[in-house]
Structures are given as structure tokens and as C-alpha cells.
Amino acid sequence: MNLPEWTIWSIALFIVFVAMDLFLIYGIIQSINEREDRAVKRLGLLLLVLVVAELLLIYAGVLLNIQLFWVLMVIGLVILIVLILFPWPENKIILDEGEPGRIDERTIMFSRNELIPETQNFNEYYSDYPQHRQTDDEFRKSPGLMNKDSRFYHPWVFPAADASFYTVAALQSRTDGVVAKTKQDFDPEKLERFVRNWAREMGVHSIGITTLKPSHLYSKGGRSHNYNEPVETTHTLAIAFTVEMDFDRVAASPRSPIILESSNQYLKAGVIAVQLASFLRNLGYSSRAHIDGKYQVRCPQVARDAGLGEIGRMSLLMTPRLGPRVRIGVVTTEAPLPVSRVNRDPSMIRFCQICKKCADTCPAQALPSDDRKITNGALTWTTNQEKCFGYWCQVGTDCGRCIAVCPYSHPDNFFHNIVRLFIRISPIFRKIAYRMDDWLYGRKPPSRELPDWMNPKN
């Protein structure tokens, strides 16, 4: 038997085979590093099937020993790749619908959780919103966040998380401050570049600047420092940024590591926001940091308009490279900084429309399974916050299961970023990707075990 003539067609086919194999091998290595045992086994099986198929095709080519076979194989593979990865035209999708109304912060569950029975604020709130009384009475019967009687109580992790929240609270008095009397002149673009680079030095993952809209602001305050007071500001811009949440701790949700990671990143975002606001005040421009427990703005909406992502099915910011696995910080200011150029990404909304993994996995069944609806003047998905927060109060953590299972939440590396790239480009690949995610990781993947250092028995 003579060996085939190695033409440019056979070499091209061989290169494609090797590229596919190497990509799967890289995926297996990354899955080992990510401790995704199921994905390791299934990617290994997929690699084995692919290699066997490739060898059979090569053997067939050797037997036939005709150039036409290699030509047809290369053309067939190219057609298949184009069908899967080509950016086929899609129906136009509406990203926003009108200008949303402002939200009363008193209606947010964190504010309602702070209400003390039989006080003036308590009685006035349920006089204004009597429809919330029954559901709120239910969550008050539960142990509550970080309570020793909650389902996922941990004798060390809960106090550690509480220590982080305590430190965040200590920062709340520093969110605003004295503005330097003299305004410094500067090149706005150079200052923006400095702020962006300094923020990244401090651990920011993504950052953008947007015009501050009325809809970004709460209508009335809902926390102890500004309860029922109108929210007003002279600031014209908002700097929004994200910090990354640790993949392993999020994957352990809804168990105790998730609330430790949440508190750590609320603290990190708070420190950075306070520093940025203080810096801008030192330049002579009124600025305010918005941190946990002392927000005047709706952070996901500000971050979206600053170009950091889209609002997904779980009502959280979906970032292009970390999905919802982030915490957000915001600084509002009157400093004349350039607004970021924003390229909205409809593919993230389209992916959320077909995936629904967060809704299927949510232990509280608090996430919608249907399409977006007009709510308060905005086209959006709306989380049932009573169900969500009620579950938090039972388990003692801020759950985070929706964040953990989101296909966009996988680590920021080449393997997952290639998948994210083609999700953005191709509607056909998008439909394949979420099913492949289920096959590799499970539709409802189990929570990860606590790391050894968190285990009191070790």
C-alpha cells in the first residue's frame, strides 16, 4: 500500500485535526486546574471519540489515495465550521425600552430587613406598602443572615464575613467629605487614563464612566442614615467598576464560603470607591463613593450604562469575561471626565433568553423562566426578591447559586474566552454552547466542598 501524496489539502486537514485536539487537551488541563472532575472526564471522552474519528478518516484517505478525498474533507469541515461559527443575521433585539422610573430604596429587601417592629418607620412603611407585610413577616421568622441557627452556619466563616461587613460599615462615614477649595485644571483624557490604570492597580477588573441619569438614583433613601429622605445630587457623571469574586468560593454556594467572598469583595469595592472619591475631591470636585449599606444609586444599571455588561435573567450585571461573578463599586462626581464609549452586546441577552440555567437551579425559585417584561418602565427580567431574601434568611448566606451555575461565570482564561467569543458571534454556536455547558458541568451542578482551611475539623 502506497502512502498518499501529501498535498496542501491533506496538510490543511491534518492541521485542523491537530488544532481541535490541542484545544480539547487545553480544555482538559484547564478543567483539572478548576477542579471540574465531570468536565475532565467528558472532555477526555470527547477527545477520544474525536481522535478515533480522525484516525479513521486519515486511514480512509490512505486507502483511497486520491486527492479528491482530502479536498472534500477540507471543504466539508470548512462548511461545518462556517455553519456553526458564522455570524448569521438575527432579528433585531430591543435592549432597552424607554426611561425606567426611579425606585424607592425603602422597598429593597435590605432596607425592609432593617425595619424594627412597632417603630415609626416600620409602621409608616407597611402603611405605604401593605402588600409587603405578609411576606416580610415570614422572613423575620427565619434565623437570618449569618445566624448560628441557620442551615449553613459555620463557626469561623460567619464571624469572618461579619468582620468584613463591620469594616465596610466603618467606611460609610468616608463616602463623602470636604472638597478642596481650588479646582485643579487637567486634561480630562489624561486624568481618565490615570484613574483607569490606578483602579486596575488596586484590583479592579473593569471600569467605565457614564452620564448620571435620574433613573440611576433611588427616589428615596431606605437605610438608617437617610430613611425616607429624597435622594438628590449635583453630580453629573458616575464611575462604575467591578471586582472579581473567587471562582471556588462562589462554586461552593449556597454554603458559607459564598458570604465570606461576598463580604470580602464588598469591602474591596468599598475601599477602592472611597479612595477614588477622595482623590477627586482633592482635585476640587465634589465626589461620593457608593458602597454596601450606603448606596444612592442602582449599581447594576450604572455599570451597564458605563459599558461594563448587560442586565441578565438574574437581574445582575453580566460582564463579558466574568458573567455575574463580580461585585460593583460606583463613584458619582462632578469632575469633567470623558464618558466611555459603549458598545452594547445583545448576544448576552439572547443567551440569557435560551439558557435559563440560573432559573432552573435557583433553590428559592425566585428567578423568572419567561422572557423580559416591561417593569417600572424598563424591559427587563425581575427577580422575586421576597423569595430570594427569604431563602437567604433560612440558610444564613447570600446564596449565590445563580452566579455559580451561569455559563459566563467560568474562569477568565483562553479556553472559556473562546467559547464566550463565539457565543457573541454566532447564534448557532450560542444554542450549542449552553447545552454543552450542561453536558460538561451538569444542569444543576452540586455545590463544592469547603476548602480544608475552612474546615474546623482539620
The rounded distance, in Å, linking the Cα atoms of 256 and 153 is 7
Averaged pLDDT of the chain: 93
Domain positions in the chain: 8-85, 105-441
- Give residue 168's Cα distance to chain centre: 21
Question: Does residue 148 or residue 61 have the better pLDDT?
Answer: 148
CA dist list (Å): 19 to 15, 47, 51, 234, 426: 6, 12, 12, 56, 20
pTM equals 0.93
Q: Is 257 within 8 Å of 249 (Cβ atoms)?
A: yes
76-125 residue pLDDT tens: 888 888 888 888 888 888 887 667 889 999 999 999 999 999 899 999 99
* 428 within 8 A of 80, measured Cβ to Cβ: no
3: pLDDT strictly greater than 50: no
Share of the chain above pLDDT 70, in %: 97
Q: Determine the 3-state secondary structure of 61 from DSSP.
A: helix
Burial environment of residue 301 by CB neighbours within 10 A (0 to 12, 13 to 18, 19 or more) = buried
Q: Is the pLDDT of residue 1 over 50?
A: no
SS3 category, 383: coil
What is the per-residue pLDDT for 6?
54
Give the per-residue pLDDT at 458.
60
Question: Which residues neighbour 388 within 8 Å (Cβ) at sequence distance 6 or greater?
Answer: 109, 362, 364, 366, 399
DSSP state of 132: G
Give the DSSP letter string of 163-204.
Answer: HHHHHHHHHGGGSS-PPPSSPPP--HHHHHHHHHHHHHHTT-
